[in-house]
Amino acid sequence: MMPGILFFKTILTLVIIGTQAYVSFAQVESELSYEVIVEVPVVKNDFAKAREKAVKMALESALKQDLRDFLGDEEFESNQREIRRMLRESEKYVKSYRFIEAYDDPIELVSQVKLEVVLFQDAVNNYLSQTGVATELEGGKQVVILINENGLSSDRELRFWDSTPITETSLTRNFVEEGIPVVRRGFIRYAIPEETVMSAMKGNMSAAVNIGLKAGADVVIVGNASSTLVQDSQVQSQQPVRVAISIKAVSSHQSTLIAAKSDFATASGNEILASELEAFHRAGKKLTEFLIPAIQKHWEAGSEKKEVKRSTPALKKDSSPLPWGDL
C-alpha cells in the first residue's frame, strides 16, 4: 500500500532549484533555527527511502545556509573543500530537528518534507576555527551589534538573548547593505553571558572588548533603545511614537572607543506598532549614517598604522580617539 498524505502546505520563502531536488529555507534568528523544505523523486515506489533521503538533504541544506550566513558568500565559495567535508557529516552538527510537514505524492512520485532544524553552533564555529577557514574572519573587519531594547512591543518577560530587538535588526540590515559583515547574535549567544553584555552597555570597556574577541569582530556596537507613546490631543486618529537610542562603538583590538551617539525619532501612524517600527527605522538610519563613516575611518587608520609600523617599528601607539564613559 502506498504511503498516504500526512500533511501538505506550500509556503516557500526561498527556492533553490536543482536537477534532483527543490529546497527552501527560512532562518529564525533568535533561536538560530532553519525551516527547510526538500522534495525528492521516488525511485521504484520506495517512499521510505525517498523520505530518508529528503531528511538528510534538509539537514545538509540547513548547515549550508548556516555556513553561508556566517562566512559570507565570498568565503563560503573559496572554502568549498572544507565545507563539502562538513556537509557530508551534517548530522553531527544538528542539535535537533522536527517535522513540520511531510507529504508523499503517489501520482507525481515525489516525497516532500518540511523540517525545523536547530544546529550546534559552537561545534560549527569550532570546526571552522580548527581548520583555519574562519582564521581571516576572526578579529577582522567585522561588526557585532547588540542592543538592549525596551519598547512598546517588547516582551518584558524575555531575557536578552531570547529577544529580537527592532533596533538591532534594523542596524544589522543597514550595515549589511553597506557591505559591512555583521556577526549575528545567534552565533554568539551561547558563548557570551548576558551579564557581560549588560556590563558593556553600562560602559565597561573590558566587557565590550571581551565580546569582540569572542565574536571574532573588531568593532563592537552596544547600546540601549526605548520607545514611548506620545500624547497628542490634536490628532486623535494617529498614534505617535517617540524612539530614543544610545550607542557606543568599541574597537576590541585597540580597546578604544571609536564613536558614541544618542539620537531619537518620532513617527505617527494609525497603529502603535506601525508607528514604532517607522520611528525605530528613522532613528536607526540616522545612527547608521553616523556610525559607518566613523568605523570606516577607524579601519583606514588601522591600515595606515600597520604600514607605518612596518617601516618605523619604534612609533608609539596612538591613544584612544575618544574617552570611554556613559552617554
Inside any domain, residue 221: yes
Mean pLDDT value across residues 164-173: 91
256 strand-pairing partners: 251
Q: Domain for residue 269, yes or no?
A: yes
Q: Which helix (H) or strand (E) holds 208?
A: helix 205-215
Integer CA distances (angstroms), 303 to 49, 181, 299, 300, 308, in order: 55, 18, 6, 5, 9
Q: Is residue 287 part of a domain?
A: yes
Assess whether 230 and 201 both reside in one domain.
Answer: yes
pLDDT at 157: 83
* CATH for 256: 3.40.50.10610
190 and 78, same structural domain?
no
290 and 150 in a single domain? The answer is yes
Does 270 fall in a domain? yes
**pLDDT exceeds 80 at position 166:** yes
Total count of domains within the chain? 2
Instruction: Provide the pLDDT confidence category of residue 307 given band limits of 50, 70 and 90.
Output: low
pLDDT of residue 140: 61
The percentage of residues in the chain with a pLDDT greater than 90, rounded to a whole number, is 43
Same domain (yes/no): 44, 150: no
Give residue 322's pLDDT band: very low, low, confident or very high (50, 70, 90): very low
In terms of residue numbers, what domain contains 36? 16-125
| String of DSSP letters for 26-56 | EEETTTTEEEEEEEEE-STT-HHHHHHHHHH
Q: Is residue 5 part of a domain?
A: no
Per-residue model confidence as pLDDT tens digits over 40-70: 999 999 999 999 999 999 999 999 988 887 7
The 10s digit of each residue's pLDDT in 107-165 is 999 999 999 998 887 678 777 767 767 654 444 688 999 999 998 888 878 899 988 89
Closest CA to 219 of 284, 307, 288, 142: 142
User: Do 148 and 248 have their domain in common?
Assistant: yes
What residue spans of 158-240 are helical by DSSP H? 166-177, 185-188, 194-201, 205-215
Looking at the structure, tell me whether residues 148 and 278 fall in a common domain: yes
The bridge status of strand 256-267 relative to strand 217-229 is unpaired
Give a yes or no: residue 255 inside a domain. yes
Confidence label for 4 from pLDDT (cuts 50, 70 and 90): very low
Domain end call among 125, 153, 177: 125
98 part of a folded domain:
yes
Tell me: do 154 and 286 sit in the same domain. yes
Domain end, chosen from 91, 125, 159, is at 125
Q: Is residue 156 part of a domain?
A: yes
Stronger pLDDT, 306 or 326, i.e. the higher one: 306
98 and 242, same domain (yes or no): no
Q: Give residue 2's pLDDT.
A: 41
Same domain (yes/no): 26, 166: no
Whether residue 119 is found in the same domain as residue 148 = no
Q: What is the pLDDT of residue 16?
A: 34
Cα distance between residue 171 and residue 176, in whole Å = 9
Q: What is the mean pLDDT of residues 283-307?
A: 85
Q: Which residue has the cell 561545534?
A: 123
Whether residue 216 is found in the same domain as residue 265:
yes
Of the residues 67, 91, 125, the one at which a domain ends: 125
228 and 281 both lie in a single domain: yes
